[in-house]
Structure 1
Amino acid sequence: MQLPPPSDGAFRWIMKCGWKGLCPRCGQGQMFKSWLEVSDKCDSCDLDYRFAAPDDGPAFFSLCIAAFPLAFFVVWIQVTFDPPWWVHLLTSLPVMVLGTLLPLRPIKGWLVASQFVNRAQQHGTQASWARLNGTDPAKNDFDQ
């Protein structure tokens, strides 16, 4: 079982696991069971992914990182060339859709791997989550 290296290598580990969709504990199993759906457990080390709660983070980062600059590109096309509407339909729409959808999976992978490596958990919720999931409240969710 491969564990993430301490401090200086943790960022690299998060980026590698998130980009490739690998388990953040062992680096072997798949994190996703479909394009954006996180697996229930790692098929290699049995890491339970119930801790993973990236919520709207991937969409937010995709919009901020990709859509914002792409919108400037679309406006530049309009101002510079003043094309008819169908040109935007054939160029701008696909660029915007692909530019915002393609980064979703790696961003979600990075967020899940980051949660695991950094043991990110909302403060004061461990006992509630243990009751809800039927796990041992004395153990950390990341170690079960």
Structure 2
Amino acid sequence: MSDVQNQMIEDETRDVKRAIWRGLRLRCPNCGEGKLLHSYLKVNESCDCCGLELKRAKADDGPAYMTILIVGHILGFGMHFAFVAWRPEPLTMVMIGLALTISSSLIMLPRMKGLIIGFQWAKRMYGL
């Protein structure tokens, strides 16, 4: 390709909302078809459908921080409401709180990683 064509491709804007939504669904941010992860938190080398190179995506600690922030706020308010409304036994509150915290964190963590990778792709960070 010529330099003009390369510049046109680089100047092409990417839809951030669509990329984030695809990341939340654990799909390729480019095509929305291929899988983003091949195990719980391992990023695929490339997309099976469109060939987008994903191995350079660096989410690092961001997904964990976002998961803690979201789960902590939702469950904190939920447990406060439950305690005020029903006054359950403290041990019951602890057991239910632990179960909800662990399960919701395990569900959200890969999705937060996908969200960050989708955002990185849309903003052309780390060579994506």
1:88 alignment partner AA: M
Q: Distance in 2 between matches of 1:21 and 1:100?
A: 16
Gaps of 5+ in 1: 1-5, 122-140
2:117 maps to which residue?
A: 112
User: 1:85, CA displacement in angstroms?
Assistant: 4.1
Q: What amino acid does structure 1 have at the position aligned with 2:106?
A: L
Structure 2 residue ranges without an equivalent (≥5): 1-11
Answering whether residue 63 of structure 2 is matched by residue 58 of structure 1, we say yes
Runs of 4+ in 1 over 3 A off after TM superposition: 75-86
Identity fraction in percent: 26
Change (3 A) 1:101 1:67: farther
> Residue 98 of structure 1 aligns to which amino acid in structure 2?
S
- Distance in structure 1 (CA, Å) of the matches to 2:30 and 2:63: 21
**Aligned pairs, how many?**
117
Q: Distance in 1 between matches of 2:30 and 2:78?
A: 39
Distance 1:90 1:16 in 2: 33
Q: Does structure 2 conserve the Cα–Cα contact (< 8 Å) formed by 1:67 and 1:99?
A: no
- 1:105: how far off? 1.7
Aligned residue runs from structure 1 range 81-92, under 5 A: 81-92=86-97
More helix by share: 2
User: Are 1:67 and 1:100, in contact at CA under 8 Å, matched by a contact in 2?
Assistant: no
2:47 matched residue in structure 1:
42
Report the TM-score when normalising by structure 2.
0.74
Kindly report the root-mean-square deviation, in angstroms, between the aligned alpha carbons of the 2 structures.
2.3
**Bigger CA drift: 56-65 or 35-44?**
35-44
Partners of 2:88 and 2:27 in 1: how far apart? 44
State whether residues 70 and 99 of structure 1, in contact with CA within 8 Å, keep that contact through their aligned partners in structure 2: no
Higher relative contact order (CA 8 A, sep 6+): 2
1:73-130 deviation digits (Å, cap 9, x = unpaired): 3345446655434312442111111232222122111110111111013xxxxxxxxx
Once residues 12 and 71 of structure 1 are traced to their aligned partners in structure 2, the CA distance between those partners, rounded to angstroms, is 28
SS of match in other structure, 1:102:
helix
